[in-house]
């Protein structure tokens, strides 16, 4: 009997879904900002994994790059930084994530009924 199951890893990811839920509430955010917020809500996840899932989500249409901004400053690695701002893509399917909402309440983030920052 032939095995009809797909080979390889499944496309979905809990980390990427949590990022979708976080971006749904935030609207737009750059990678480092998302990484900091994500680690406060869901600890034990490296920044490298967050950036991997942001890039993978762009490839899958779950995220899209809103804008890329170069900022001048005095950083340990040089004088400029490139911030890539992300927003939800067409294939994103946000869910009602209680952990994200609880974190926002604890950190006094104000949200209206549509889960958008005010």
The helix (H) or strand (E) run that includes residue 40 is helix 31-41
pTM: 0.77
Structure tokens at 77: 């690695």
Cα separation of 74 and 67, whole Å?
22
Query: Quick one: tokens of 110?
Result: 């104000």
What is the rounded CA–CA span in Å between residue 20 and residue 18? Answer: 5
| pLDDT tens-digit readout, 76-112 | 888 998 999 999 999 998 888 888 878 777 776 544 4
pLDDT digits (tens, 9 = 90+) for 33-47: 999 989 988 888 899
Only one residue has tokens 């249409």, namely: 61
Tracing tokens 């095995």 back to the chain, one arrives at 3
CB distance 81 to 70 below 8 Å: yes
Domains parsed from the chain with CATH numbers: 14-106 (1.10.10.10)
């Amino acid at each position: 009997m032939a095995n009809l199951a797909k080979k390889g890893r499944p496309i979905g990811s809990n980390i990427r879904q949590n990022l979708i839920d976080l971006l749904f509430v935030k609207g737009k955010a750059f990678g480092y900002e998302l990484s900091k917020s994500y680690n406060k809500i869901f600890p034990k996840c490296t920044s490298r994994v967050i950036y991997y899932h942001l890039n993978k989500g762009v490839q899958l249409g779950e995220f899209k790059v809103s804008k890329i901004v170069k900022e001048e400053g005095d950083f340990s690695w040089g004088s400029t930084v490139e911030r890539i701002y992300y927003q939800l893509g067409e294939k994103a399917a946000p869910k009602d994530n209680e952990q994200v909402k609880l974190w926002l309440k604890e950190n006094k983030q104000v949200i209206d009924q549509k889960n958008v920052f005010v």
